[in-house]
A and B are shown apart, each in its own frame.
Chain A
């Protein structure tokens, strides 16, 4: 039947297309973009942590302590961010 054969041909074509897409996804994006993404990930978390520490310090009047603590928490968060996006890239 012509209709059936068209259907199977459509199926085959669709399969091919999805396979092609899968292959395309595995292609690595440009490495300079990757490097830049990771570095901003790290820096922005540190900045956000420090800003939060600064604001909390101002509100509670505990001048140097919270900014110090939140700076290091921000560093940890940045490293976790970098790890996560690196893991996502390898998937």
Chain B
């Protein structure tokens, strides 16, 4: 029985070792859970959209509800111009949500509790949004780094500050998701360990804490997926409607 609360984040290889040059690309438990969540998303939305009846089945209701939820989120934060990017934001939201939620199952691995996963997701968003901005506005997108009404003496300093603040977006986006997931899961494991070590006499208090924490963690799992998607919308909004 592993009592170390950080043991749950260990990545290990499943199956044979595969090498691509010097890079190890073997199939790990992290990749397994990514595949599982992607397959679950595909399954739910395929079943949900197979038969479009007027009286929706549970699967259809689920997929329709999530569709309207994300589409409302996009139109509220990024406006109607962001409609073409619906598929991207929807996939991001669903993937993060399913990874978080699968992590809540006991003995499952939480993919989003690793900063490299969230950082790659955030970098894709960052690079994509920057490319969209340059495609829409050309070199005028660089105006984002030059706020209006700044005296010429301060301009070089302000531009450097703006660039740093722009580059810090993917970092803050990824750290937020990763830190929330990792802190929550560590805390749950610690309280679980207390239950074991205090035994039948004193273990009831940490057990009740564990139950409460599980509820909180499910909320956090949803909330962080929502925050991740909504910040993507906000960055997209900055790229589409240039204003400062």
Residues of A at under 8 Å CB distance from B? 21, 25, 30, 33, 36-37, 40-41, 43-45, 47-49, 52, 70, 73-74, 76-78, 80-81
Question: CB of B187 within 8 A of chain A?
Answer: no
A53 to chain B, nearest CB (A): 10
Question: Can you pick out 11 interface pairs between chain A and chain B where the beta carbons lie within 8 Å of each other?
Answer: A33-B227, A36-B180, A37-B176, A44-B175, A52-B167, A76-B161, A77-B161, A78-B165, A80-B161, A81-B168, A81-B172
Question: CB of B207 within 8 A of chain A?
Answer: no
A18 to chain B, nearest CB (A): 11
A40 with B160, Cβ < 8 A, contacts A33-B223, A47-B168, A81-B168 known: no
Interface hits, B115-162 → A, CB 8 Å:
157, 160-162
The complex places the Cα of A45 from the Cα of B168 at a distance, in Å, of: 5
The complex places the Cα of A70 from the Cα of B175 at a distance, in Å, of: 21
Question: CB of B18 within 8 A of chain A?
Answer: no
Asked if B76 and A21 make an inter-chain contact with CB atoms under 8 angstroms apart, the answer reads: yes
Which residues of A lie under 8 Å from residue B161 when comparing CB positions? 73, 76-77, 80
The complex places the Cα of A47 from the Cα of B165 at a distance, in Å, of: 11
Please report the total number of B residues contacting A with Cβ < 8 Å: 18
Which residues of B lie under 8 Å from residue A49 when comparing CB positions? 164, 168
Residue of A nearest to B165 (CB): A77
The complex places the Cα of A29 from the Cα of B139 at a distance, in Å, of: 36
The complex places the Cα of A43 from the Cα of B168 at a distance, in Å, of: 9
A23 to chain B, nearest CB (A): 13
Asked if A44 and B76 make an inter-chain contact with CB atoms under 8 angstroms apart, the answer reads: no
Which residues of A lie under 8 Å from residue B176 when comparing CB positions? 36-37, 40
Which residues of B lie under 8 Å from residue A43 when comparing CB positions? 172, 175
Question: CB of B171 within 8 A of chain A?
Answer: yes
A19 to chain B, nearest CB (A): 14
B231 to chain A, nearest CB (A): 9
Asked if B223 and A73 make an inter-chain contact with CB atoms under 8 angstroms apart, the answer reads: no
